[in-house]
Structure 1
């Protein structure tokens, strides 16, 4: 199963294409705003409004053999601990080996932003190369599932 934290996810269509090609079921989990898919492998799950409701839904279900697509680091940590493979939309994998550092960096950046309200985000734009890396990483994750 592929679980996609679908609110603001830039690779929903790419994930669906890979799911279709590999015959893997997929859940797009969101608070609303997505149209149901006609694809029989894809379920759109609408969770109640509220902070982290989609994250809770995914964390309660993801486990060994599943792939989770998210940019939410606390959700990623829970899913990694549960044995799921976790991918960022740019194809980067979050694993037991790196999730601690990623969480620490996230917390440090939150502290820096809180200390300097004029600090602007410095992230680069999402690119076609990011999407290509994601598709490749998702293919690889599904091929090597436990």
Structure 2
């Protein structure tokens, strides 16, 4: 005697109702490769996970309405530095300070006694000339 459909003796893979015959099991994967039990998100939100094959720094978006739509890959804009560090002022400053130091010492040795403020400074003129040259070398360390 055949057993009626829907009884407790019916096979597990055998559909018990006509609706069960047309539906997929709960463990079936969707076309986008995500299984329903793995995807636990709120209704209306989109899946923002990136596939492992996509390089970092790129965003993948796809349409949920059409399963045949290819994913769209967009690049993120690169961030520019807030302040461009230019050191174009270093070579002219280095050369100017060095030449001023040498020029100060040459003028002191040749005509220092005839220039009133150099005569007043006396031997401190050596400190001024050497200080200008030391400042030139200090500025030179900033050159890239």
**TM class, shorter-length:** under 0.3
- TM-score, normalised with respect to structure 2: 0.23
- TM-score, normalised with respect to structure 1: 0.23
* Structure number, greater radius of gyration: 2
Say which structure is richer in helix.
Answer: 1
